[in-house]
Amino acid sequence: MQGNYYAFAPAGNYAAAEAIMQRLQYLDQPNREFRLRDVARKYALELIVGGLLLLLGGVAALLYLGGMNRRLRRNQLQRERMARVLARSNERLERKVEIRTSELRQSESRFRSMFERHSSPMLLIEPDSGQIVSANPAASRFYGYAIDRMRQMNIGQINQQSPAEIAEERRQALIEERNYFVFPHRLASGEVRTVEIYSSPVEMGGSRVLFSIVHDVTERKQMEQQMHDLAFFDPLTALPNRRLLQDRLGRALAAAARTRHHGALMFLDLDQFKTLNDLHGHDIGDQLLVEVAHRLLGCIREGDSAARIGGDEFVVMLERLSENRDEATLEAETVAEKIRTGLAEPYLLQREMADANQREALTHHCSSSIGVTLFDGRERGVEELLQSADIAMYRAKEAGRNVVRFFDPVMQESIERRAALESELRDALEHGEFNLFYQVQVDAGRKVLGAEVLLRWQHPQRGMVAPGEFIPLAEETGLILQIGAWVLDEACAQIARWQYFGVLRDLTLAVNVSARQFTRPDFVDQVKATLQRHAINPLLLKLELTESVVLDDIDASIDKMKALKEIGVHFAMDDFGTGYSSLAYLKRLPLDQLKIDQSFVREIDTDRADRVMVMTMIDLGMNFELDIIAEGVETEAQFDCLYRYGCASFQGYLFSRPVPLDEFEKLVFARLF
C-alpha cells in the first residue's frame, strides 16, 4: 500500500531513524542535503581546523621544496666551482707529471750513465728472486764474468751465505730496515773475497730493484783480523795471550760463582828450555813451543783454554769441574798428569844445515813443571789466581821438575814472608846492614894465601840472616846487581887498606860474581872502574864464576874474562864438577884456578867414587896448568887425602869459619907469629 506518511517528533537525534529509512529508500535527495548541512553545522570546528592544518601543510611543503631548490642550486654552483678547480689542478698536475717524468728520464739516464762508468762494482738485483738484473763493467771485471753472463745469474751463485740468510738481507734492504752488509763473494776464479755492500731500493723501468754498490774489503778485514790476533793471540803458537786469558778467566770466575762448579788454573814452565835455545838457536826453540801448544790443545776439552803468556810459560784453564772440591782436585790432577806425560814425549825438530836446502832431524826431550790451583768464584781476582798457580809451579820446580804441584795456602804465607823479606832487603843496602865475612884460604903448608869474602846480613830484628835465605831472593829481584857492586867495591877497598900493612898487603881476595852481574854489558867497565877508584893491584883480586854463569853465553864470557885478565884480574871456576864440566869449554876459558866443590870433599876419605872424582879433577887442572883449591875441608883426614892427590890450596872449617874482618886479621897475625 502506497501513500505519504508523516511523522512528528520532538527535536533530537534522528540518525538511527534516518539510517533505517535510507536502507528502506524512503528518504529522497532533499532530505539528504538537509542532513549534510546539519552535519556540517555540527562538525564545523573540526572541519575548519582540518582545513587550516591542510593549508599549513601545503605552506610547509612549499617552503621545504623552496629550501631544497635553493640547496640544490648551491650544490650545483659548488660542483661547478669544484669542477673548475679540479680542471685547473689537473692541468697543474699534468704539467708537474710531465716535468717529473722528464726529470725521471733525465735522472734514470744520469743513473745509467753513472752505473756504467763508475769504477766501483755495482749490481741491480731483483729483490724477490735475487736475480741479477744488470751489472756494470767494473762488476764484470771484479767478479770475472761477462755482463751478459751475470744477467743470467742469481746473487746466490756469488754470495756464499745460505739462501735463507741472503733472502732475509734482501728483505731488509728492500724495506730500508738496513742497507749495509758484509758478505763473502766467490769470483769466477773460485777465490772468495770479503765485500761490503750498500744496498737500497730504486725504481728502474717501472719496477723496484735493489741497487748495490760493492767494495772489496778483503785486505782491510785481514788487517783488522791480524790486529785483533796480535792484541789477543800469541803470534807464534796462535794460542790466546795474557790479555785474552785474563778476560776468559774473569768470565770463568763469574760462571763458577754462579753455577757452583769448580775450575782449575795450571801454570806450566818448560824445564831447561833456555839451554835448548842457547845450544841450537831460537828457530829450534820456536819449533818446540809450537809443538807444545799443539800437544796442550790435544790434552784438554773443547770448552777449556790454553794460553801462552810469554817465553816458555803456558797457562791452561779448566772449567765446569765437579762441585765437590775433592773430586774437582782429582779431575784437575788427571788432566795435569796427562799434560805432563804428553809434554815429556820426544820432540822431532828440524835444524837447518849449512846448505839452506837441507834440514837435519833433531830429537829433543823436554819436561815441564806444572802448578795447579782450584777456583770456585770466591777468589779476590784474576791476578790472585794467576799468582797462586805461579807459586805452585815454582814449588814443582823446587821438587825436582817434571812434576805437578797444587797450590797450598801455606805457600801463600811463605810468599808473603818472602815479599816482606824483599822489602827489608832493599832497606838493608841503604841502611848499611850488610857485612863482609872472610874465610881463609891456605896452601899445603897452611900458610895464609888470602880469603874468600862472603856476604852476611845483620838484620836489626831477625839477627843474622843466612845467605841461602836472601841471596836467591836478591838474584830473582835483581837486587843482586846493587849488592854485588857493593861487595866488589868493599873488597877492593879492603885490599887498598891492607896495602899499608906489610903482612896483609899480598893477600888475595876472592869475590863471587852472580849470573846477573856477569852478564851485564858494562860488567868489565864496572870492575875496571872499581880497581881504578881504589888504586889497587888487579893481581890481588880473584873473581869466582860458576859453570852455569859462564856457559850462559860462552863466547861473551870468554871476551869479558880476557878483557879483565889482560889487566891482571884472576878467575876461579867455583863449584867445579857440579855443572856441565867439559874439556871443550875448559880449554877455551882463561881460568887461573879450579875450585873443587865441597860435595866431593865431604866423604873423600870414605867414598871411593868421590876420591876418583877429586883425583880426576886435580889431574885435569894440572894438565891445563890451573891452580886447584878444595873448599869444605873440615877434617884432617880430608886434608891428608887432598894433599896426597896433589891439591895445593885449601879452604874450610878446618882452618877457619867465615869471620868478621877483625877476627880474620887476628887469625892472619896469629899464623905468622
Question: pLDDT (tens digit, 9 = 90+) per residue, 135-179?
Answer: 999 999 999 999 999 999 999 999 999 999 999 999 998 888 888
pLDDT in tens, 645-658: 999 999 999 999 99
Which of 89-103, 222-236, 655-669 has the least mean pLDDT? 89-103
Q: Is the predicted pLDDT of residue 495 greater than 90, yes or no?
A: yes
- 308-342 burial by CB neighbour count: b if 16+ within 10 A, else e? bbeebbbbbbbbbbeeeeeebbebbeebbeebbee
Q: What's the pLDDT at 398?
A: 84
Weakest-pLDDT range from 33-37, 75-79, 118-122, 323-327: 33-37
Element (H, E) at 101: helix 44-117
Is the Cβ–Cβ distance between 326 and 335 less than 8 Å?
no
pLDDT over threshold 80, residue 18: no
512 phi/psi in degrees, rounded to 5:
-75, 135
> What pLDDT digit, counting tens, does each position of 293-317 carry?
999 999 999 889 999 998 899 999 9
Lowest-confidence region among 3-12, 153-162, 621-630, 645-654: 3-12
Report the distance separating Cα 37 and Cα 40, nearest Å.
5
Per-residue pLDDT averaged across 490-501, rounded?
94
Q: What nine digits make up the cell of 176?
A: 730500508
CB atoms within 10 A of CB 388: 25
Whether 112 has a pLDDT exceeding 70, the answer reads: yes
**The pLDDT value given to residue 411:** 53
| Band (660; pLDDT cuts 50, 70, 90) | very high
**What is the enclosing helix (H) or strand (E) of 580?**
none
Out of 188-197, 416-425, 521-530, pick the least confident. 416-425
Rounded to the nearest 10 degrees, how much is the dihedral formed by the CA atoms of 153, 158, 164, 167? Answer: -60
- What average pLDDT does range 125-140 have in this prediction? 91
- Mean pLDDT across 186-210: 88
pLDDT in tens, 284-298: 899 999 999 999 999
pLDDT score for 100: 67
Residue 217 CB contacts under 8 Å (≥ 6 apart), including other chains = 182, 194, 195, 196
The pLDDT value recorded for residue 53 is 87
Mean pLDDT of 449-466: 91
Which pLDDT band, with edges at 50, 70 and 90, does 563 fall under? very high
Return the pLDDT at 101: 66
Q: Are strands 305-310 and 313-318 parallel, antiparallel or unpaired?
A: antiparallel
Higher-confidence residue of 3 and 204: namely 204
What is the arithmetic mean of pLDDT over 27-33? 49
Q: Which of the four pLDDT bands, split at 50, 70 and 90, describes residue 25?
A: low
Helical H segments across 521-607, by residue range: 523-534, 547-551, 554-565, 583-588, 598-601
Tell me which of 362 and 453 has the higher pLDDT: 453
What is the pTM (predicted TM-score) of this model?
Answer: 0.49
Mean pLDDT, all residues of the chain: 85
550-562 mean pLDDT: 86
**pLDDT tens digit string along 388-445?**
899 899 888 888 888 898 887 665 566 667 778 888 888 888 888 999 999 999 999 9
Q: What's residue 1's pLDDT?
A: 45
- Average pLDDT on 463-480 reads 86
Region 368-389 average pLDDT: 87
User: Cα separation of 192 and 222, whole Å?
Assistant: 13
Q: For residue 673, name the pLDDT band (cuts at 50, 70, 90).
A: low
pLDDT of residue 630: 94
